[in-house]
Amino acid sequence: MSFAKRLGLVLAGCALVAAVCVVAYLVLTRRTSTDTTKQAAHGERSALALPSFSIFEASRMWPLLGPDEPLNVKEIEELMAEVGQVGAAADVAEAAVAGEGAEADDAEDTSDLDDAGDSADAEAELDTARATYPFIPLVLYRSRHLFEKDAWSADEIELGRALAQFLATTFEHPDLEIKTSDPTAFRTGLERIRDWYAALCRDNKALARMIFTMDDGPFQGTDVDESDVAAMQKINSVLIPGTRARLTLLKRAEQDEPMVIAVLTDADTLVSAVGLSGRPTGTIKTVEFTDEAPVEELKDFGYKVSLIADWTYGKEYMHLYLDGDLKVRFYYVSW
């Protein structure tokens, strides 16, 4: 792929993510004009409680997305209109990328990325879901008080119904709509939203889309033959909090992307291993742990690992996510 095309793809992606930033900042940071509702007492968790937001709060972009205040109905209505514009912008960007990919480029030089299959462009999707999914945890986070109680005021039911309408319309799930103000129907509607969100959190593809970031990715890495791990060079390892396992960086010989990240028990039994690849975006040459607290435990989600990758574009931060079984979910590399 020519440099001009690659640059165009990067700029289209930046414009799209910038649009999400602007919308989130303008809409979600507006202070509510109504009195905030009483919060549920700390202690026993409500049966309606949502999964933790820890994996989203761990993103470096999360603090930019507004205050910790409950949403109100007006904000949700404004957000619905604004997110529709973001989705339309994503569709335009995606169509532009598809058009670029369809053009013949017989004079183009090949590269090591082409060897990996430069259907690369198709995988570096600027799709509507990637542009809009971060709004799911954002609106639920600022509406979480509704899920922390078992009785609601008329105003809270109105807010919950507006939230349900936003999710049903924006994400094309009409079953999420709460059609009446009856308290029993309202509770059932919140349960449907909770279950839908929890299912998204269990799906790595959806989960990656919901994390608000401007980094390259998500990448899932490459398969590693377990029988080859013992012969690999050990570079460094760190203890995974709350376990006796260690997260270990390994290096393979004679590979253009030699780095492997593995989880080993205290008896050196292999739990999981993934080759760290930046394709189709770039090539990862070396990886190291950050100096301070490289592994952070995330309630309900496993762990976030902070690394530094030396890849095609220089040394950049890399953020890798492990699930509760200590297997790699996906990772991002800064650009």
* pLDDT tens per residue, range 48-57: 899 999 999 9
User: What is the percent of the chain with per-residue pLDDT over 70, rounded to a whole number?
Assistant: 72
Q: Average pLDDT in the 167-175 region?
A: 94
Residues, the chain, total? 335
Strands 314-322 and 328-333 come out as: antiparallel
Residue that the structure tokens 């793809």 belong to: 9
Residue where one domain finishes, among candidates 164, 195, 210:
210
pLDDT band at residue 88 using 50, 70 and 90 as cut-offs: low
Q: Give the whole-angstrom CA distance, residue 298 versus residue 318.
A: 17
Query: What pLDDT, in 10s, does the model give residues 144-169?
Result: 999 999 999 999 999 999 999 999 99
| Total number of domains constituting the chain | 2
Q: What is the pLDDT of residue 7?
A: 32
User: Is there a single domain that holds both residue 242 and residue 162?
Assistant: no
Residue 292 CB-density burial (10 A; 0-12 exposed, 13-18 middle, 19+ buried) = exposed
CA 65, 70, 76, 78 torsion-angle sign: negative
Q: Which two tokens stand for residue 324?
A: 């509760």
User: Is there a single domain that holds both residue 55 and residue 77?
Assistant: yes
Q: Are 121 and 101 in contact (CB under 8 A)?
A: yes
Q: What is the pLDDT of residue 66?
A: 66
Query: What pLDDT, in 10s, does the model give residues 103-152?
Result: 434 433 333 333 333 323 334 444 667 778 999 999 999 999 999 999 99
User: Is there a single domain that holds both residue 57 and residue 184?
Assistant: yes
User: Is there a single domain that holds both residue 86 and residue 196?
Assistant: yes
pLDDT, averaged across the chain: 80
Instruction: State yes or no: pLDDT of 198 exceeds 70.
Output: yes
Beta bridge partners, 296, equal 304
Residue where one domain finishes, among candidates 169, 184, 210:
210
Q: What values do phi and psi take at 168, rounded to 5?
A: -65, -40
Query: What pLDDT, in 10s, does the model give residues 242-289?
Result: 999 999 999 999 899 999 999 999 888 999 999 999 999 999 999 999
User: Is there a single domain that holds both residue 195 and residue 229?
Assistant: no
User: Is there a single domain that holds both residue 38 and residue 160?
Assistant: yes
Instruction: Determine the structural domain holding residue 267 and report its residue range.
Output: 216-333
Instruction: State yes or no: pLDDT of 5 exceeds 50.
Output: no
User: Is there a single domain that holds both residue 195 and residue 233?
Assistant: no
**C-beta atoms surrounding 100 within 10 Å:** 18
Residue that the structure tokens 């919308």 belong to: 23
Query: What pLDDT, in 10s, does the model give residues 294-312?
Result: 999 999 999 999 999 999 9
Instruction: State yes or no: pLDDT of 37 exceeds 70.
Output: no
User: Is there a single domain that holds both residue 196 and residue 322?
Assistant: no
Minimal CA–CA distance to 289: which of 253, 249, 244, 239? Answer: 249
User: Is there a single domain that holds both residue 249 and residue 114?
Assistant: no
User: Is there a single domain that holds both residue 48 and residue 168?
Assistant: yes
User: Is there a single domain that holds both residue 52 and residue 168?
Assistant: yes
Minimal CA–CA distance to 28: which of 142, 169, 156? Answer: 142
User: Is there a single domain that holds both residue 8 and residue 121?
Assistant: yes
pTM of structure: 0.77
Instruction: State yes or no: pLDDT of 38 exceeds 50.
Output: no
Residue where one domain finishes, among candidates 147, 180, 210:
210
